[in-house]
Amino acid sequence: MGLRPRQFRPTALPQGRPPRIGHNHGPALDAVVTWRHVAWRRAHRRIWRPPPTEVARRRAERAGELGLSYRQYTSVLLDRGVRVEALVFTHRALFAGDGGLRPGVAEKLASLTACRLLILSDAAGSLAGQLAGNGRKVSAETGGDATNWLRGVKLPPATAVLIGDGEAERALSDAANLGLYLWRQAYFGADIEQLTPQPA
């Protein structure tokens, strides 16, 4: 028994006519689903295909050392082609309006290992001293410029992740060409004040 060619059932066109000669029976390329959309969807599916187990395990370990999720860490790796080496925190990401640390910040920062931390704040000197050690190299800078610090420690900007709390800080991250910008809620989790209901 020989192989038979694959039989296609003609799909009806929107007007009810059968497809023309040369139609490949693919998806309709209307205004909603363009070829570019189909190509991006395929590329996204291909790039996020699960890597070999050992590679995924190493990525997950490194993401855990940095306090990032696997997807956040891998997105920098795939988008920029470099590993995350440094975390940059803005004043508003770490400190509440009264000047004290936000809930959960000290515990999260203390759990980080084997990374460089930069705190962009005038009030970060004592915090930097407390966090040094356990493979962490902590620096504190006044102002909002991370590029000079990155140049000083010989790291490309794409290897740094900025954790902030505002559109101005997102613009700072984009201008400095940093690897990723994360809102403080995405990195530290929701604040305690946000979880407790406010009296009416």
Q: Report angle CA 87, 104, 169 to the nearest 5 degrees.
A: 40
pLDDT digits (tens, 9 = 90+) for 18-70: 767 777 766 665 556 678 888 988 998 998 899 999 999 999 999 999 999 99
Q: Global pTM?
A: 0.72
What pLDDT, on a 0 to 100 scale, did the predictor assign at position 159?
A: 94
- Write out pLDDT tens, residues 96-133: 888 788 888 888 888 888 888 888 886 666 676 666 66
Residue 196: pLDDT above 60? no
- Write the CA distances from 13 to 22, 29, 33, 72, integer angstroms: 14, 12, 16, 42
Give per-residue pLDDT as tens, 130-144. 666 666 777 877 666
| Range with the poorest average pLDDT among 8-12, 166-170, 186-190 | 8-12
Query: Coil, helix or strand for 32?
Result: coil
* Assigned CATH class of 68-195: alpha beta
With cut-offs at 50, 70 and 90, classify the pLDDT of residue 13.
low
Give the position of tokens 């996204």: 44
> What would the two tokens of residue 48 be?
């996020």
